[in-house]
A and B are shown apart, each in its own frame.
Chain A
Amino acid sequence: MAVANIEVSETPLVLYALRRADDALILGHRLSEWCGHAPAMEEDMALANMGLDLLGQARELYTYAAKVEGRGNDEDKFAYLRDVRQYRNLLLVEQPNGDFARTMVRQFFYAAFADLYWRAMMASSDPTFAAIAAKSEKECAYHLRHSSEWIVRLGDGTEESHRRVQNAIDDLWAYTGEMFAVDDGERGLIDAGIAIDPATLKSRWLKTVTGIVNEATLALPKSDWMQQGGRVGSHSEHLGHLLSELQSLQRTFPGATW
């Protein structure tokens, strides 16, 4: 395991693209872990489909980050040759799959945001982001539909499913605040019309989430404490394990082409 990490020049625009690429890759990877093990074959199909959408989004965003950075990095170098501290994804998406309820809650919280986010990003003054947004918005819209339907089924299903999905909501809630946070670098991009301000999406996100949670006879936690750190590389313990698996071949066989 002697392959060095790449160095990344994290200008605001590169960092912005990498953060969204990392979200998509890590969540897509988590969904791909289900493949062959889902509660029903239809869900094997659906989870793989959403995983593929997210992988596709990640690849486009990494490729754009590489182009903007212009240092010879590419999608695979970003994915395979950065360590935990260099990853910039939300803490939410790296949380383990757990049971199906937990996977669906994670997906629901993220998709409810990503659906709004990508729709808003279609108006980005950066044509690449606008194009990626146009495709991603369609995908995230059905990810939201799919996960919303499951939240309702599980919440209003049996006692056991209700308990499981409520536990997942309680455990994952603290990871939702990070989606709306903005740092100085991103503020500049927002001012330039390249990025949108996620804070403007918060009330609509909360409305969607509350609506579904109510319909599912579930409740959102009272606590408003939010965990943060993913965007600057301070991750949970889970990400390192995910990366050691994801990166194993690239790290074991330096420089090989696959």
Chain B
Amino acid sequence: MYTQALNSSDGDDRGVEDVARASQFQARIDADERIEPNDWMPAAYRKTLTRQISQHAHSEIVGMLPEGNWITRAPSLRRKAALLAKVQDECGHGLYLYAAAETLGTSREELVDAMLSGKAKYSSIFNYPTLTWADIGTIGWLVDGAAIMNQIPLCRCSYGPYARAMIRVCKEESFHQRQGFEIMVTLCRGTVEQKAMAQNALDRWWWPVLMMFGPPDQVSQHSDTSTKWKIKRFSNDELRQKFIDATVPQAEFLGLTIPDPGMKQNENGNWVHSPIDWDEFKQVLAGNGPCNRERLAARRKAHEEGAWVREAAMAYAEKRKSRQLAQAAE
């Protein structure tokens, strides 16, 4: 669905193996060339991207859970098909993001294990619960909307496989976003109860969605290297502002109130939000969000309960191979 804290990188090029190659590498980046898997790259660039792409993949896979929670209860067959297709898209995003990460030299199994062990992060937004059908609309509208803001610049990311994956992901995300907004339109034009459901969902998701863009620029670290490497092109606050400015008129159209009474428009036309509760963000990142434990437990359960299936598939493939070899030898 999206990745968060795009500003994290693994330091500068102090660990770079070869100064001459490093400066050639930087020259290619400066010339807007794409870096491909077989090209030389600094170890820190490889590490930063492996982490960012795999976190993004983990987010897609964990992100299937909150929405998956409503597939069996979707209120019409049309909504059910759309939601199932959407969650399936997210799984597809996860798969090709893992494949993109693998081009940097770490296997999908290792990356998944890091997520299941709790070592690797995924987006904090998926640690919030989906309580009503309006949450499905709100996730599409706001969470996917925020994801698009984050991911459009990544289509021009310096690393080729990631940039190309993002082009496809963004197309699907924008479809999801329109679908989510359409759910909200239907609810807001519906009964009093449905409208209240929509407002309540916005109330619960608004602040966590703003946190998706990561900590404010003044306290965020490491973004210099990612910017220099053209992995990151806009700061957290810039993206957050773009998102808010795009969202305010949409909320107005829906007749919903953004749960920030202090929000004001400045002389440039930007909507200035009230302070964000970064303690909540830190708590969720630290594992104390409402659903952190459940999400990880659900992923671990699927992984563990599927182990015998994967083992059987491997065992069968081995048997078949040895039978074929025996046949060829005859």
A contact residues vs B (CB 8 Å cutoff): 25, 29, 32-33, 35-45, 48-49, 51-52, 55-56, 58-59, 62, 75-76, 79-80, 99-101, 152-154, 156-158, 160-161, 164, 245-246, 248-250, 253, 255-258
Do A39 and B306 have beta carbons less than 8 Å apart? yes
A253, B88: Cα distance in complex, Å: 28
Q: Which residues of A contact B310 (CB under 8 A)?
A: 39-40
- Residue of A whose beta carbon sits closest to that of B60: A41
A247, B57: Cα distance in complex, Å: 33
Q: Which residues of B contact A40 (CB under 8 A)?
A: 306, 309-310
Given A41-B91, A258-B186; A35-B68 close (CB under 8 Å): yes
Do A44 and B312 have beta carbons less than 8 Å apart? no
- Residue of B whose beta carbon sits closest to that of A156: B316
Partner of B88, one of A49, A158, A255: A49
Interface residues of chain A: helix, strand, loop or mixed (majority): helix
A220, B133: Cα distance in complex, Å: 44
Q: How far is the CB of A90 from chain B (nearest CB, A)?
A: 19
Task: Say yes or no: is B64 at the interface (Cβ < 8 Å to chain A).
Answer: yes
Given A245-B72, A258-B133; A154-B193 close (CB under 8 Å): no
Q: Which residues of B contact A75 (CB under 8 A)?
A: 77
Interface residues of chain B: helix, strand, loop or mixed (majority): helix
Stretch at the interface among B79-87, B165-173, B226-234, B282-290: B79-87
Q: Which residues of B contact A256 (CB under 8 A)?
A: 75, 190-191, 193-194
A55, B78: Cα distance in complex, Å: 9
Q: How far is the CB of B197 from chain A (nearest CB, A)?
A: 9
- Residue of A whose beta carbon sits closest to that of B313: A153
Most buried by A among B87, B133, B302: B302
A186, B139: Cα distance in complex, Å: 46
Query: 8 A-B Cβ contacts within 8 A?
Result: A35-B91, A76-B76, A152-B316, A153-B312, A161-B308, A250-B76, A256-B75, A258-B79
Given A39-B310, A157-B316, A258-B133; A52-B77 close (CB under 8 Å): no
Task: Say yes or no: is B301 at the interface (Cβ < 8 Å to chain A).
Answer: yes
Given A32-B72, A40-B309, A160-B312; A52-B84 close (CB under 8 Å): yes
- Residue of B whose beta carbon sits closest to that of A31: B84
A37, B313: Cα distance in complex, Å: 18
Q: How far is the CB of B112 from chain A (nearest CB, A)?
A: 9
Q: Which residues of B contact A38 (CB under 8 A)?
A: 302, 306
- Residue of A whose beta carbon sits closest to that of B312: A157
Q: Which residues of B contact A29 (CB under 8 A)?
A: 72
A160, B306: Cα distance in complex, Å: 12
Q: Which residues of B contact A164 (CB under 8 A)?
A: 308
B contact residues vs A (CB 8 Å cutoff): 61, 64-65, 68, 71-81, 84-85, 87-88, 91-92, 94-95, 98, 133, 183, 186-187, 190-191, 193-194, 298, 301-302, 305-313, 315-316, 319
Partner of A41, one of B61, B183, B315: B61
A40, B112: Cα distance in complex, Å: 11
Do A161 and B64 have beta carbons less than 8 Å apart? no
Q: How far is the CB of B309 from chain A (nearest CB, A)?
A: 4
Given A36-B302, A39-B309, A158-B312; A59-B87 close (CB under 8 Å): no
- Residue of A whose beta carbon sits closest to that of B183: A258
A29, B83: Cα distance in complex, Å: 12
A248, B71: Cα distance in complex, Å: 12
Do B309 and A100 have beta carbons less than 8 Å apart? yes
Do B81 and A55 have beta carbons less than 8 Å apart? yes
A158, B307: Cα distance in complex, Å: 12
A152, B316: Cα distance in complex, Å: 8
Do B315 and A59 have beta carbons less than 8 Å apart? no
Do B311 and A161 have beta carbons less than 8 Å apart? yes
Q: Which residues of A contact B312 (CB under 8 A)?
A: 153-154, 157-158, 160-161
Q: How far is the CB of A51 from chain B (nearest CB, A)?
A: 6
A249, B73: Cα distance in complex, Å: 7
Do A35 and B71 have beta carbons less than 8 Å apart? yes
Partner of A253, one of B73, B74, B193, B315: B193
A35, B88: Cα distance in complex, Å: 8
A141, B80: Cα distance in complex, Å: 24
Q: Which residues of A contact B306 (CB under 8 A)?
A: 38-40, 43, 100
Q: How far is the CB of A113 from chain B (nearest CB, A)?
A: 23
A100, B306: Cα distance in complex, Å: 8
Do A59 and B194 have beta carbons less than 8 Å apart? no
Partner of A37, one of B298, B309, B316, B319: B298
Do A99 and B305 have beta carbons less than 8 Å apart? yes
A67, B309: Cα distance in complex, Å: 44
Q: How far is the CB of A208 from chain B (nearest CB, A)?
A: 20
Do A160 and B88 have beta carbons less than 8 Å apart? no
Q: Which residues of B contact A250 (CB under 8 A)?
A: 75-76
Do A32 and B80 have beta carbons less than 8 Å apart? yes
In the complex, given contacts A35-B87, A35-B88, A157-B311, what are 5 additional A-B residue pairs having Cβ atoms less than 8 angstroms apart?
A36-B298, A44-B88, A45-B88, A256-B190, A256-B191
Q: How far is the CB of A33 from chain B (nearest CB, A)?
A: 6
